[in-house]
Amino acid sequence: MVLPPTVVDRPLPAFFQRSLENGRLGHAYLLTGDRLDCVEETARTLAQVLNCENPIGRLPAGYGTAPCLQCTACRRISTDNHPDVLWWRPESKLRIITIDQVRELRKTVYLKPLEARYKVAVIVAADRLNAQAANAFLKTLEEPPEKSILLLLTTEPQRIIETIMSRCLRLACENPHAASPLPESPSYLRKFSEGVLQETGRELLSRYRLLGILQQHLAEARERAQTELTARSPLEKYEDADPGLREKWEQELAAAMEAEYRLRRAEMLAQVHAWLRDIWLATLAASPALFLHASLSSTTEKIAHRLESEAALENLRILEKTCRLLQTNVQEALALEVCLLRLNFGR
């Protein structure tokens, strides 16, 4: 059953819908997707469906096919202000979920729900569980509490240990608002490609101009992420909250900002990678119909004429290695600088 967009703007994963229809819910779900904010919204919708006071399309087991979005439970869940829907996020600059957080979670989920039908514990960026926390969390998965459901969220499921993966039901979350590919490539990529075309060799000044284009876009992306997440933070809504709670919210906000920035950086590099792929295809005399950035096809083919296919393929490898490095604590500016100096765009 597909939910109409007028009822809920975040459709439920099909497997979860079938679980509701059959009245057979798992105790732990791993929610995966391309964007963490979309996965978080899906988690909120799941929590609302489980605890809605006036569900739409009531099923035999008592659940609904969609939340009403109007009852007290739905409204409180949508603002992260429900006592039975609890969120755990990476803390500190290291952006990890610690064993102390897991211990707190264990104490909480084994308590009976205060108001709702189910207590829902949401672990954001579950791939950031450190080794100790992951091992401690396994005990909760092995001894699932009654009337509690665990939702693990991630955009990088490959980084979650197998013992946790095997104990969760996996749900793929789609972004219903994802736009279709645009005929025009991002402005920063157009500037970047034009800068590459104007090169006459691996000139240092030219490469630093290219670096500047990417860094300017990243700075704007960071600023947008900070503005958007700050506006949604409870810090903006509850100015008179307890100082200890405000400190926790500040830590969560800082971690969320860093996570969102890294996601947007990865999206930028994915666009650059797609364009480098187009250049490689052009060196193989592939049809421009195969290009991911069709609006740049003229520039792409001109650059491809300056390259051998192996050199174009090596560019892809260099960028892929840089993307892996940026998942560590490497200095961003240095990693991007080294990458750009190594790329080969011909004469």
Dihedral sign, Cα of residue 1, residue 48, residue 146, residue 159? positive
**CB 23, CB 60: distance < 8 Å:** yes
pLDDT greater than 90 at residue 250: no
What is the model's pLDDT at position 305? Answer: 93
Dihedral (C-alpha) 41, 47, 50, 56: value to the nearest 10 degrees?
-40
Closest CA to 338 of 176, 165, 208, 153: 208
pLDDT greater than 60 at residue 326: yes
What is the model's pLDDT at position 1? Answer: 34
Up-side HSE of residue 234: CA atoms within 13 Å toward CB?
A: 21
Dihedral (C-alpha) 46, 52, 57, 62: value to the nearest 10 degrees?
90
pLDDT tens digits, 56-65: 776 666 676 7
What is the model's pLDDT at position 175? Answer: 61
Residues 222 and 218: their CA atoms lie apart, in Å, by 6
Domains of the chain: 14-172 (3.40.50.300), 187-342 (no CATH)
- CB pairs under 8 A, 24+ apart, for 18-22? 19/169, 20/49, 20/59, 20/61, 20/63, 20/64, 20/65, 21/59, 21/61, 22/61
**CB 51, CB 118: distance < 8 Å:** yes
What is the model's pLDDT at position 7? Answer: 39
| Helical residues (DSSP H) of the chain, grouped into ranges | 14-22, 36-51, 72-78, 99-109, 131-142, 162-165, 187-197, 204-232, 243-283, 297-304, 309-325, 332-342
Rounded to two decimals, the pTM is 0.56
Q: What is the percent of the chain with per-residue pLDDT over 90, rounded to a whole number?
A: 33
Q: At what angle do helices 187-197 and 204-232 cross, to 10 degrees?
A: 170
Residues 44 and 59: their CA atoms lie apart, in Å, by 20
**Tokens at residue 298, please?**
């003229």
Closest CA to 72 of 62, 85, 88, 63: 85
pLDDT band at 231 (very low <50, low <70, confident <90, very high): confident
Burial of residue 292 (number of CB atoms within 10 Å: 0-12, 13-18, 19+):
middle
Mean per-residue pLDDT, 213-234: 89
What is the model's pLDDT at position 321? Answer: 92
Mean per-residue pLDDT, 255-281: 88
Instruction: Calculate Rg over the CA atoms of the chain.
Output: 23
